[in-house]
Amino acid sequence: MKLFLVFGIFTTFVLMVLRYRKDKALRELLIAITSFIAIISLGVMGNITRPVIPFFLAHILLVVFAWGALLYYVVRRRYLWWAIFSPAVTIILFVIWSLLAGSRYEDIWGSFL
């Protein structure tokens, strides 16, 4: 499984660089790399949703959806910002839910404060 993740990350990066070498569009390369870093960061930050399995599964699904949107941008040059930043929704919902639910997830806030 980890091999597929590394292969997917490497392939996406190579596609971005090859597209830049073909078009020489530095702005588009910077947008793609920034989105690439944002998706990876949101994927890592999504580990806080791990205690609640439905949030975690939704987060994984939205990370895959965001990765597809990034590939769509690299290939078609159409930027779907709402799809790329969609994994943030599960993180925000989890934080709101843990604020409302309270006691079960209070150990999470110790790492933020």
- Residue 15 tokens, joined: 């596609």
Helix (H/G/I), strand (E/B), else coil: 51: coil
Work out the number of other CB atoms within 10 angstroms of the CB of residue 69.
Answer: 21
DSSP code of 85?
T
Q: How far apart are CA 86 and CA 24, in angstroms?
A: 29
Whether 94 has a pLDDT exceeding 60, the answer reads: yes
Whether 102 has a pLDDT exceeding 90, the answer reads: no
At 61 the pLDDT is 94
Question: If we measure between CA atoms, which residue out of 76, 3, 83, 2 comes closest to residue 35?
Answer: 83
At 5 the pLDDT is 78
Average of per-residue pLDDT values in the chain: 85
At 107 the pLDDT is 57
Q: What is the pTM of this model?
A: 0.81
